Amino acid sequence: MRSIACVAALFYLIFPLAEASQRSVFDLPRRPQLVRTRILAISSSVHTGSSNQEVYLADVVQKDGVHRLAKLIDRYPDYGSPIPLSVLKERPLLEMKVIRDPSCDSVNRDFFLSTDERRLFDAGARVAITDDPTSPLPCFKTEHLTIQFAKKSRNSSSAM
């Protein structure tokens, strides 16, 4: 009987440590990461929760160099403004800090593109989301004040 009590006590001492070493599906890294991106289009969806935001369809390149079609939510302060259309029309390579937020992930068919061609900066954007409507569309949220033009580098032409 005593050995059962010892095993039980040992189990309760070890179990919290084992539980703490496992990562919960809700415990995702929330650190900002620096990415390069091109904005392909502006969503026509209605903004929920904030009037100071734009939702973009973007080609995001993370440190691993892999391109990902993604939903990019740019929330800006009350005194701020979104990225100007004149800048987006030029399709520059931008650099910014973003936080991956799986809570706003969707699939391609749920991303609403405007019928206004002035809000579509890459003709391939419409094709990219309609060709595979069930493909996952990961969501990133910008740290608005970190958005800047990407510095030229030797690899910038091959990066996008």
The identity of residue 42, as a single letter, is I
pLDDT tens, position by position, 19-42: 444 555 555 557 899 999 999 999
Helix (H) or strand (E) segment spanning residue 102 = none
Sign of CA dihedral 66, 67, 71, 76: positive
What confidence tier does 50 reach under pLDDT thresholds 50, 70, 90? low
pLDDT tens, position by position, 123-155: 899 999 999 999 999 999 999 999 999 987 645
User: Quick one: pLDDT at residue 54?
Assistant: 93
Extents of the domains making up the chain:
33-151
Architecture of domain 33-151: Beta Barrel (2.40)
Structure tokens that stand for 150 in this block = 């990407």
Distance CA 69, CA 158 (A): 17
Structure tokens that stand for 114 in this block = 């405007």
The pTM (predicted TM-score) of the whole model is 0.75
Strand 148-149 and strand 106-107: pairing? Answer: unpaired
